[in-house]
């Protein structure tokens, strides 16, 4: 199973920043943190990933704590189209190839 813990659901007002937390206290030194989102009835979409430095792209920012035990995905100006389930995952297990998802956080952007 995925070694991450996320809140089950969150709400965010449209136009405000959405901050989605993730705990990964057992992450090892060479494991990356990935974020995906899944809009209803579609395949998951990659958002961003990082190792230890904060990352930013056109979709979001990823803030990783110095001890790497938690991270936060930030959607700077949430829109209604950002309503989705957001998954935080890390590489799991001794194999380099499996890719596990948890249950994610259901973000609802409210008009």
Distance, in Å, from the CA atom of 41 to the CA atom of 49, rounded to the nearest integer, reads: 23
DSSP annotation of 31 reads P
Which helix (DSSP H) or strand (DSSP E) does residue 56 occupy? strand 55-56
Provide, rounded to whole angstroms, the least separation between the CB of residue 72 and other proteins: 19
Nearer to other proteins, 12 or 34 (CB): 34
Are residues 79 and 14 in contact, defined by beta-carbon separation less than 8 angstroms? yes
The candidate with the shortest Cα–Cα distance to 35, out of 109, 80, 1, 85, is 85
Instruction: Indicate which single residue of 7, 19, 21, 49 sits in contact with other proteins (rule: CB under 8 A).
Output: 49
Provide, rounded to whole angstroms, the least separation between the CB of residue 98 and other proteins: 6
Per-residue binding string, other proteins, 71-110, x by CB under 8 A, is ----------------x---x---xxxxxxxxxx------
Instruction: Indicate which single residue of 10, 44, 59, 108 sits in contact with other proteins (rule: CB under 8 A).
Output: 44
Please, which of residues 4-33 interact with other proteins by CB under 8 A? 32
Give the largest Cα separation in the chain, rounded. Answer: 44
Which phi and psi (to 5°) does residue 40 adopt? -50, 130
Residue ranges in contact with other proteins by CB under 8 A: 32, 34, 36, 38, 41-46, 49, 87, 91, 95-104
């Amino acid at each position: 199973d995925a070694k991450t813990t996320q809140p089950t659901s969150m709400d965010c007002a449209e136009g405000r920043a959405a901050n989605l937390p993730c705990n990964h206290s057992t992450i090892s030194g060479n494991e990356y943190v990935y974020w995906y989102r899944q809009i209803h009835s579609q395949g998951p979409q990659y958002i961003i990933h990082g190792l230890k430095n904060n990352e930013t792209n056109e979709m979001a920012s990823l803030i990783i704590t110095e001890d790497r035990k938690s991270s936060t995905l930030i959607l700077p100006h949430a829109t209604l189209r950002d309503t989705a389930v957001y998954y935080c995952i890390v590489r799991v297990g001794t194999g380099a190839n499996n890719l596990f998802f948890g249950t994610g956080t259901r973000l609802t952007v409210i008009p």
